Chains A and B, each alone.
Chain A
Amino acid sequence: MKKDSVDDILTRYFAPDADAGDLAKQVLTAARESARQTSRLLDRISIQATPRGVSLIRAERLEKPASAAARRLAERAREELSEYFEGKRAFFSVPVDLTETPDFQKKVLAAARAIPFGEVRPYAWVAQRIGHPRAVRAVGTALGRNPVPFIVPCHRVLQTGGGLGGYFFGTDVKSRLLSLERVTPIYEGCTSTRIICRVGCVHGRHMRPDNRVVFASVDDARSIGYRPCKVCKPQAA
């Protein structure tokens, strides 16, 4: 039998996996890339807050929060965002202040917040959920004006066919956030306390890296003797 393109495909498919040199090289390239991207994104962001919560996250320079309480919240949001971009946080605990936001947009943002970490939904799903199934375009506009991107995850809303749609910080950032969420776990346990938390819980910060185990569900963790954290309540996630 003559060697042809099918032979090549079969050879590649059944070949032993890429050799160690290649694998190491790929990982090293990814390591350089990941460090660069995280710091770049965080440097671009300005955060405005009121004493009630974070009120605006934008790429341009914003006025400093007026009160000390507001400054603390803005600072906390920056910390949480930094952890999120590093894949060490799967939820935000800092409050948001949407009192200035119109009612329709508030509903849209609340629907977006209901999309679980790491998952995506179409614009039409959001429209359906807020009881205005035909207002898909208005939903898109409302999400496009999301005052607190990242924290209210408008990046998890895509076009029905799977297209990215728009994004305030550009579609490349949107797709990077989705990839980031695909590789960030949401439950982690500590082997010394036998407690399971949501990734990003305050307990996780004090956990030694070699005490960290990832779980697929709270029930899995329970089945081997871990209990849910009382602070972050992972069973409600």
Chain B
Amino acid sequence: MDEERRLMGRVARGDEAAFTELVARYGGRLRGVARRLLGSRADAEDAVQRALLQCYLGAGTYRAEWAVSTWLYRILTNVCVDELRRRKSRSGEIEPPARPDPPDAHLDLRRALGGVPTEARVLLALRYVDGLTYGELARIRGISVNTVKSQLQRGKSLLKSALVKGGAV
């Protein structure tokens, strides 16, 4: 933990090697979450780059009470949530990925996830892609642990009914 905070300190002083190390440690996990949230690889890549840019430019505002991963996820989810907003305003209520990837076995799930409200979807992605705890999820979205639990529950029950309706379960 302390080592990561020292690394953030070096990034804040503009140490590019430290930043590269940070990206090596977290880039893959950030991409995983962005990919599951946004559906398309190109959009996910773009979101991760923007999040890392904010992380680099804002490293001076990082406070040691945060775990580095939680802080990075906060920045990344902020970027991804805004991307989801933009899609909604482009296409009314339906939210297909901007550039969908080829069909795969998870298509039903992806379609069903599209019907889950944004906040619940973000929490589901963080919970299932990277196994974050309720406490970490609460910190990332600035809500209470109870709200995290109720949102996850709501998201899951919406998913379930969508999948049952689609005949996938």
Contacts and interface: CB of A to CB of B under 8 A. Distances in A.
B147 A118 contact: no
A30 B49 contact: yes
A187 interface: yes
A200 to B, nearest CB: 14
Nearest to B147: A224
B23 interface: yes
Interface string A193-214: 0100000000000001111111
Interface in B134-156: 141-144, 147, 151
Interface string A29-62: 0110010000000000000000000000000000
A9 interface: no
A171 interface: no
Nearest to A190: B142
B58 A209 contact: yes
A103 interface: no
Given A24-B16, A224-B151, A186 B57 contact: no
A186 B83 CA distance: 11
A148 to B, nearest CB: 25
B61 A210 contact: yes
B11 to A, nearest CB: 10
B147 A185 contact: no
A163 interface: no
Nearest to B150: A224
Interface in A143-194: 182-183, 185-187, 189-191, 194
Interface stretch (A15-23, A94-102, A121-129, A134-142): A15-23
Interface string B50-81: 10110011100111001000010010011101
Contacts of A119: 89
B31 interface: yes
Given A23-B49, A224-B151, 8 more contacts: A21-B20, A23-B52, A25-B20, A27-B52, A30-B53, A194-B142, A214-B78, A223-B151
16 contacts: A23-B48, A27-B19, A27-B49, A27-B56, A183-B50, A191-B142, A194-B142, A210-B62, A210-B66, A212-B78, A213-B141, A213-B142, A216-B85, A217-B85, A220-B117, A224-B143
Interface of A: 17-18, 20-21, 23-28, 30-31, 34, 116, 118-119, 182-183, 185-187, 189-191, 194, 208-217, 220, 223-225
Interface of B: 16, 19-20, 22-24, 27-28, 31, 41, 45, 48-50, 52-53, 56-58, 61-63, 66, 71, 74, 77-79, 81-82, 84-86, 88-89, 117-119, 141-144, 147, 151
